[in-house]
Amino acid sequence: MWVLLRGGHPLRVLLPLRGEWKGRRGLPRSLGPAPPRRRYRKEALPALDGPALPITTTEIRQYLKAHGIPFQDGHSCLRAPSPFVGDSQLKDQIAAPASSSLFIDKTTGRFLCMISLAEGSWEDFQASVEGRGDGAREGLLPGESTAAEDSDEVLRIWERAVPLWELPEKEEAQLARVMFGLSKVTDDTLRRFSVRYLRSARSLVFPWFSPGSLRLRGLKLLGAESQGEDVRYVETTIPRPGAYCNLFGLPLIGRRDVELVLTSRELDSLALSQSTGLPTLALPRGTACLPPALLPYLEQFRRIVLWLGDDLRSWEAAKLFARKLNPKRCSLVRPGDQQPRPLEALNLGLNLTRILRSALPAWHKSIISFRQLREEVLGELSNVEQVAGIRWSRFPDLNRLLKGHRKGELTVFTGPTGSGKTTFISEYALDLCTQGVNTLWGSFEISNVRLARVMLTQFAVQRLEEQLDKYDEWADRFEDLPLYFMTFHGQQSIRTVIDTMQHAVYVYDICHVVIDNLQFMMGHEQLSSDRIAAQDYIVGAFRKFATDSNCHVTLVIHPRKEDDDKELQTASIFGSAKASQEADNVLILQDRKLVTGPGKRYLQVSKNRFDGVVGVFPLEFNKNSLTFSIPPKSKARLKKVKDDNGLVTKKPSSGKKGAMAQNSEAASGQAPTPTS
């Protein structure tokens, strides 16, 4: 189990250099805190900076040709001479473009100069080439002081840490090796990767060096806690992951290396390098994200093997990352009993080279045979719980019905006006986000400030306006969640929304998109005057996006106008039947307060394509924390709440007539009648 505890402050940000084909020399190769990267636009995290302007590879190529800039086509980037280096260095780039050049992302147009570390958006590159805009001046943005604090902290921790093999007490060194599973990792391997040990925190210290030098840019501290037979790892990153990205082991990569193994943990990289001798790098955020800013450092490799972990979540992440890296050059190590994590494989005495040879190609034709799917089918049969998806921690009854949150599905959510749809769905999404599910929110009805305030209250489970002294503490923790917001408000076209979602999936590896709500996109569609046809088109677009991007989409749709004394049904969803037909799951927030008094709310799962189980469970709204999850209570009280609300589950019945009668209302899609 991994728990990410991220610390640090925002990285210092620089305004652009003068837009000319000149620049500063490369960084000196010395150990110590390095100056920050040059950024050409401060990227607002966690919010997306408005809709992404679509750019195609063809447009990038045409622009470079029009301005006489030579370039080479790479796997995920275009490589060109950099305008941010001196004339002598420019000549070297043309002679040896693989060693020093400008890399331009084919999907986003974002660039990175490998010598000066200047980076920015495609618009920033155009402004620099054409000598216009803010690129004509140089200065510092707010945050330089905090970056200096980060550098000081990084250097202070690094100097206090000592090499693990140099610990004065042999018992302490042996205990540390056992806790981190390093019994078979040699001192020479630890020395080559510059791994140290911080005795005061009982943590391993993994360094991040500046590309092309040994300047220290950041650290990752890994602590280990024993929990019975298992070990719980705790990560702390300085600077925080949202401010800086790097690859552990980058200084050991040679210019002529053409094969690479990517791992999700530094410990696994140590094991792989020692056992196989192959170049290996560890991703800074594990299976959570592969930042596009790192793609230029992976361009030189003709073959990349992704060995990320031993569970299905790691397998899904490997397939997602392979899309960015160009699937034709990627192979994936499928999780299995004989193919565990690299470090575990080393400790078990397995042949890691043989496992790498059995890696499956990530790319295949549109039509494949069962022979190619055979191993994946076996993996799903062997890991039923993992196939069911990420389970909710706040809604155990939702786990009992839906089993979990799965990628590539479309969930339609509806409920009466004023029933608390947005409040519930924000907690529903927050629950998953706190478990590492990268989430994108599209709130078209209420502002992002109001939405963030609700989610922060739900996250803290208390009203922070009554104790503002705790705001910074909770806000820091909330800021580190993989949560992003679209800046749309009011009516938007479906094309613009889909473009933004695709951008977010590529840049932030989004796994869950929440759209609240569909009706705010219908006014922009000019397909016909028929609102039903327009809605069907929009639902189809979200269905296609979920499938193609392997991303879960939760779509909020208002219901038709119904009488207050009637329960909502699947047929109550506004529009034609297409929404419920396309959806994998249909959730209905029922509100019977007008009939049976306040507090009678429950969630109805009326469609579940995964295994067909449907049913209802009660919801209890807490006004102080704005949550619907039931707070911990005694078992007797919890059982009484369930009985009073008629908690039922529709499953294949082989029981008696009494059991069939008890579940008859659920089988018909109707809510149970409350007992008196």
For 243-252, the pLDDT digits (tens) are 777 899 999 9
Q: How confident is the model at residue 15 (pLDDT cuts 50, 70, 90)?
A: very low
State whether CATH 3.100.10.10 applies to domain 249-387.
no
The pLDDT value recorded for residue 132 is 67
The pLDDT value recorded for residue 454 is 94
Distance of alpha carbon 334 from alpha carbon 341, whole angstroms: 10
What pLDDT score does 269 carry? 96
At 596 the pLDDT is 47
Separation between Cα atoms, residue 503 and residue 497, nearest integer Å:
10
Query: Which residues partner with 232 through β-bridges?
Result: 225
Please give the residue that has the higher pLDDT: either 419 or 158: 158
Crossing angle for the helix pair 494-508 and 531-549, to the nearest 10 degrees: 10
The yes-or-no verdict on residue 495 having pLDDT over 60 is yes
Q: What is the mean pLDDT of residues 568-594?
A: 83
In this chain, the answer to whether the domains covering 249-387 and 396-632 adopt an identical fold is: no
pLDDT value of position 424? 94
Of the two residues 545 and 517, the one the predictor is more confident about is 545
Most confident of 50-54, 147-151, 342-346, 647-651: 342-346
Mean pLDDT of 328-349: 90
Q: What end-to-end distance do the CA atoms of the chain give, in Å? A: 45
Give the domain ranges of the chain: 17-137, 249-387, 396-632
Q: What is the pLDDT of residue 639?
A: 40
Q: Return d(Cα 426, Cα 554) in angstroms, integer.
A: 11
The Cα 20–Cα 132 span in angstroms is 10
Q: What is the pLDDT of residue 169?
A: 85
pLDDT at 115 > cutoff 50: yes
Quick: pLDDT tens for 366-408: 445 565 566 667 766 666 677 788 899 999 999 999 999 999 9
Q: Taking Cα atoms as reference points, which of 242, 240, 200, 202 lies closest to residue 222? A: 202
Mean pLDDT, rounded, for 81-102: 57
Q: Residues 506, 272, 285, 516: what is their CA dihedral angle, to the nearest 10 degrees?
A: 50
| Model pLDDT, residue 649 | 39
Evaluate if residue 287 carries a pLDDT over 80.
Answer: yes
pLDDT tens per residue across span 423-437:
999 999 999 999 999
Mean pLDDT check: name the lowest of 113-117, 269-273, 287-291. Answer: 113-117
158, pLDDT greater than 70: yes
Q: Which has more pLDDT, 367 or 313?
A: 313
Residue 395 pLDDT: 92
Q: Contact, 266 vs 282, CB < 8 A?
A: yes
Position 131 scores a pLDDT of: 79
Average pLDDT over residues 107-130: 86
Q: Where does the pLDDT of residue 60 fall: very low under 50, low under 70, confident under 90, or very high at 90 and above?
A: very high
Q: Look over the chain and give the mean of its residue pLDDT values, rounded to a whole number.
A: 77
Asked if residue 522 has pLDDT above 80, the reply is no
The predicted structure's pLDDT at residue 147: 56
pLDDT given for residue 173 in this prediction? 87
Q: What pLDDT is recorded for position 143? A: 32
Percent of the chain scoring above 70 in pLDDT: 74
Check whether 14 has a pLDDT greater than 90: no
* pLDDT band with cut points at 50, 70 and 90 for residue 306: very high
> Which run of H or E residues covers position 223?
strand 216-227
Confidence of residue 290 (pLDDT cuts 50, 70, 90): very high
The whole-number pLDDT of residue 648 equals: 42
User: Would you say residue 631 has pLDDT above 90?
Assistant: no
Find out if CATH 3.40.50.720 is the number for domain 396-632. Answer: no
- Between CA 454 and CA 427 the distance in angstroms is 9
- Give the percent of the chain with pLDDT over 90: 40
Q: Quote the pLDDT of residue 56.
A: 85
Q: Is-contact 44 106, C-beta < 8 A?
A: no
Distance CA 579, CA 639 (A): 35
Mean pLDDT computed over 543-572: 85
More confident residue, 10 or 204: 204
Provide the pLDDT for residue 606: 93
Pairwise pLDDT comparison (601 vs 91), residue with the higher score: 601
Q: What is the pLDDT of residue 211?
A: 73
Residue 363 has pLDDT above 90, yes or no: no
Cα separation, 381 vs 402, in Å, equals 18
d(CA 269, CA 185): 11
**So what's the pLDDT on residue 382?**
67
Q: Is the pLDDT of residue 53 over 70?
A: no
- pLDDT confidence bin for 534, thresholds 50/70/90: confident
Interstrand relation of 601-608 and 614-619 (parallel, antiparallel or unpaired): antiparallel
